C-alpha cells in the first residue's frame, strides 16, 4: 500500500507499508503528475514501513522514475532496516538525484527543506 501526502508546494511524502503492487502505482501516479504540473519539480520523502514490493511494483517504480526524472528532486528514504540503507546506496548509483537514508522522518524532512537542491 502507498499513501501520498503533499507537505507543501515542493515536498511529496509517500508512506509505503505491507504489499506494494503495480496497482498502487497506478493509483498514485496521476496525483503526483498533477502535482508536477501544478507545482513543478518535487522533493520526495519515502517512509518505508516494512513494505514488500511485487515485481510489478518494482517495474512500475522504475518506469515512473524514467518518465519523470526531470521532476524528481532530492529524495529522503526513511527506514530502520539495514536493507533500506543498502537500497539507498544502490539508488544513488543509478539515479542522477541525491538520495539519502534517514532513521527518523523529522531528520529527512529537515534535509529536504535545506537550501541545497
pLDDT digits (tens, 9 = 90+) for 17-33: 999 999 999 999 999 99
| Number of folded domains that form the chain | 1
CA angle 95, 100, 101 (to 5 degrees): 125
Q: How many other C-beta atoms are found inside a 10 Å radius of the C-beta of residue 42?
A: 21
Element (H, E) at 30: helix 22-39
Residue 63 has φ and ψ, to the nearest 5°, of -60, -45
> In a 10 Å sphere around its CB, with 0-12 CB exposed, 13-18 middle and 19+ buried, how is residue 17 labelled?
middle
CATH number at residue 82: 3.30.750.24
Q: Mind listing the pLDDT tens digit for each residue in 47-92?
A: 999 999 999 999 999 899 889 989 999 999 999 877 777 778 777 7
Q: Which domain holds residue 49?
A: 2-113
Q: Helices 22-39 and 55-68: crossing angle, nearest 10°?
A: 20
The structure's pTM equals 0.90
- CA 26 to centroid of chain Cα atoms: 15
Amino acid at each position: 500500500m502507498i499513501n501520498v501526502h503533499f507537505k507543501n508546494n515542493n515536498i511529496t511524502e509517500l508512506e509505503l507499508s505491507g504489499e506494494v503492487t503495480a496497482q498502487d502505482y497506478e493509483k498514485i501516479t496521476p496525483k503526483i503528475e498533477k502535482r508536477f504540473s501544478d507545482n513543478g519539480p518535487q522533493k520526495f520523502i519515502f517512509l518505508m514501513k516494512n513494505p514488500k514490493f511485487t515485481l510489478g511494483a518494482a517495474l512500475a517504480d522504475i518506469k515512473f522514475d524514467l518518465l519523470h526524472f526531470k521532476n524528481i528532486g532530492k529524495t529522503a528514504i526513511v527506514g530502520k532496516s539495514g536493507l533500506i540503507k543498502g537500497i539507498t546506496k544502490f539508488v544513488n548509483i543509478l539515479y542522477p538525484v541525491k538520495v539519502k537514508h534517514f532513521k527518523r522522518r523529522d531528520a529527512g524532512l529537515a534535509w529536504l527543506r535545506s537550501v541545497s537542491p
